Amino acid sequence: MFNPILDDFSKTSKSRPLSDVLHIFILLFISKILKIFALFITYNLLKSYHFMLILFLTTLFASICLLFIQKPFSSIRLNKTILFRLIKYTICLTIVRVLWIFGLTLCGPLRTILLFEHSDLVILACFHVLFSSSSDIGVQQQGQTSRIRGAVFFILAVLAIFAFDNDDARQRVLDHPEGHSHHRLFAHVFYRLTSFIGVGDHKGGVILLLIALFIRCAIDSLNKKLIGDVGGPKKFYAITTCLSTACLIPTSFIMLLINNIFPDSIDSSSSTFQTTLLPSTSSSFFGTIVSLFIPLIIISILLFVSDFYIEQIAIVKLERLRTFRYGTFTMIGGALIASFLWIKSATVINNNSIWFNGNIGKFEPEEHALSGGVVFSIVMFIFSTDLLLSPIKQRSGAFIGYSQDGVPLFNLTHQRSQSLLLILRSSLRDILAETDSRRIFYFLCINLMFTFVELLYGAWTNSLGLISDGFHMLFDCTALVVGLYAALMSRWKPTRVFSYGYSRAEVLSGFVNGLFLVVVAFFVFYEAIGRIFEPPEINTNRLLAVSVAGFAVNMIGIFSFSHAHAHAHGGGGGGSCPMSQPSVAKEQHHHDHSHSHSHSHSHSHDGGHDHDHGHSHRSNEKSSHHGHSHSLTGNANMKGVFLHVLADTLGSVGVIISSLLIQYFGWYISDPICSLFISIMIFLSVIPLLKDSAMTLLLQTPSDIQYEILGRIIKIDSVLSYSDEHFWRLSSSTIVGTIHIQISNDGDEQLVTSQVQAILKEAQMQNVAVQVEKQVFFNHLAGLNSALGQLATSERTFLHK
């Protein structure tokens, strides 16, 4: 997925030497690594000092540096309109920085980098994919599908941090039941808000960082014209940073008066930075200077000055997309490595005391440790950044000819690609348009609601049985999703690559669901055998109620999908029900042989006959036609879904019976015995589905065609023999076939073709190819020594008279 850096830069550096581009990239890489280092130092200082003090001092030092470097107020006159817009932007920027640094105190540097250090191009691309109806911006874009995948990956990464990141190492009872040490008033107000919505401090910090990210991207995208009016991005950044520092002055002094943001005493171990990097000092004032102001000067330069200027140089040299792309990769990878080293170093200094807002405590080496959710989100963020910040490729036109003046003409048709919400809406419309997919979708919604209610109630009551049954129901929902997607896919229109369409997807779905059921039946049988000899004690608390509720839900599915079971076991003499009359042949070639295609649509119930003698030779026995069709089978996809629901229903019945026997009689052996019978019933019920779907996938010839249909074809007047007969079921309702018919020299090709087509369409064939051949044609080819004239008599089937 990732393009090599040298190849990517070689496209950018057509007008400048490659070495210059590499130098800019190395400079960008170093600046991002130093920014990561500064963020980790900032987090350590936030354990000893109030976050408003840290933010005010860093922006103050950065403003002083920018005043000397940029001199933003020396040669500019701002009118009232621009000044008012600058003040509005500065207020929003100050809010973003306050939310960012407070989120840093709650989530740690690694998660702050993962959630906040994203370009506005990434966020705007996500919103564009989700809420825009077209991807045409100036030029037609290729790769809208990759943009959709990138947006989905970004959402999954955020959800992984929010839901699956167990960042609970600091759950100690210090200031409140959550156990997090707080910065007095502001933090306690925040804690009340997070407690009101039912989330912890860590998840609240995730929400704050996301809000800060969205506000930052919004104000940056809405004030691009303001940057030009002020005099460029560098002067604009210097002015807004100085104004932001001015906004923080009253806020910081209010916090100083209310909360006493300085600790009462500072000793040599007052900060993690001093503990790890600087020697101890005896003077309290000098210790404050060394442990606070020197690190803050370094932080302000690395975070607010050098990173901005190097990024601006890289934007000019490397282009905007590549700068943000490789900058984000460096930040994510560097933060992961720094977090790992930070945890290791924290383990070394674990025995040293550090200052926690007026409380002496131990440094937690596992604080903000890596988790599975963080690792997954890192992978998702990398993929999403690569997909959303990849260079946009323009669609090339197709050459269609020349104009009257000799100018080449190209076809520049634009294909509109919809947003994710419109795609979901279109898919929902397709689902509700057909009976089978509609029934699967409704039952899937009911099943999912019951599953999540069961999971939530199980987590609330700390019931492992409910949680395990909920995940079991979630596994069953995957079978419904597979069946639903197959039902949708089977209605896709044929393409040039898939000329027969996608109707066989339902057969494949039924076969896969059948294999799942076989695996489930095997494991249940294996487990039941072991429990028969040593029946375990079972806690039946809530088990009976959950089983009854699951049985009620599954009965809805049984009644919904019972038509699939009825079609699968239809009567053996089910009459055919053609839906349309045989259509006229579309192609006829008037040589010594003819070739004809015919298409129709029909439906029939599945019969129960299966006779296959394995040869095609025809004697002169009479084969009467009864006007019945037994070639078509039931929908394999719906049968697979039905069997899944049936297996769940049998499981619920078994649990109900065993629960009652255990509760009233103490027969623990009833549970493995019920499981044993259920596994056998599931296995026996799934065998017909596996057999039918496997035979369809292996292109088995329907048995009645071998005797009835071909027997009628050979008895048509002027027909001498047939060869190359190939008939197979494409899906449960479609049979296709091709056949070569050899007729006498005085036979009528069109008459024979129409008669053969009529016989095949009576057998519910929808795709028929009939090729009529005369013996004189083969004699002619044989005289020319053509391979087509060497059709052996043994390959042809004759009527014996």
| pLDDT band at residue 611 under the 50/70/90 scheme | very low
Whole-number pLDDT of residue 198: 60
Overall residue count recorded for the chain in this entry: 801
Whole-number pLDDT of residue 90: 92
CATH of segment(s) 580-632+700-798: 3.30.70.1350
| pLDDT band at residue 358 under the 50/70/90 scheme | very low
Q: Which residue has the higher pLDDT, 167 or 501?
A: 501
Whole-number pLDDT of residue 791: 54
Average of per-residue pLDDT across 535-544: 70
Query: Is the pLDDT reported for residue 379 higher than 50?
Result: yes
Average of per-residue pLDDT across 711-722: 85
Q: Which residue has the higher pLDDT, 64 or 728?
A: 64
Span between the terminal Cα atoms of the chain, in Å: 68
**pLDDT tens across 162-184, in order?**
877 766 544 433 344 444 444 45
Query: Is the pLDDT reported for residue 655 higher than 70?
Result: yes
Q: Which of 328-332, 610-614, 664-668 has the highest mean pLDDT?
A: 328-332
Whole-number pLDDT of residue 343: 65
Any idea which fold 421-574+634-697 has? Alpha-lytic protease prodomain-like (1.20.1510)
Whole-number pLDDT of residue 649: 82
> Residue 282: is it exposed, middle or buried by C-beta count within 10 angstroms (0-12/13-18/19+)?
exposed
> Using CA atoms in the order 702, 703, 708, 713, what is the torsion angle rounded to 10 degrees?
50
Q: Which of 322-336, 527-541, 706-720 has the highest mean pLDDT?
A: 322-336
Average of per-residue pLDDT across 36-56: 88
> With DSSP H G I counted as helix, E B as strand and the rest as coil, what are the percentages for the chain, rounded to 5?
65, 10, 25
User: b/e for 726-747, b at 16 or more Cβ within 10 A?
Assistant: ebbbbbbbbbbbebbbbbeeeb
User: What are φ and ψ of residue 492, in 5° steps?
Assistant: -65, 145
Q: Which of 145-159, 466-480, 655-669 has the highest mean pLDDT?
A: 145-159
Q: Which of 212-226, 383-397, 410-424, 494-508 has the highest mean pLDDT?
A: 212-226
Where are the domains positioned within the chain?
Answer: 5-394, 421-574+634-697, 580-632+700-798
**pLDDT tens across 397-431, in order?**
555 666 666 666 655 544 454 555 677 777 788 88
In three-state secondary structure terms, 395 is coil
**pLDDT tens across 785-795, in order?**
655 555 555 45
Q: How far apart are CA 745 and CA 738, in angstroms?
A: 22
Average pLDDT, the chain: 73
Q: Are 321 and 393 in contact (CB under 8 A)?
A: no
Q: How far apart are CA 86 and CA 243, in angstroms?
A: 9
Q: How far apart are CA 527 and CA 676, in angstroms?
A: 9
Among the ranges given (152-156, 227-231, 774-778), the one the predictor scored with the smallest mean pLDDT: 774-778
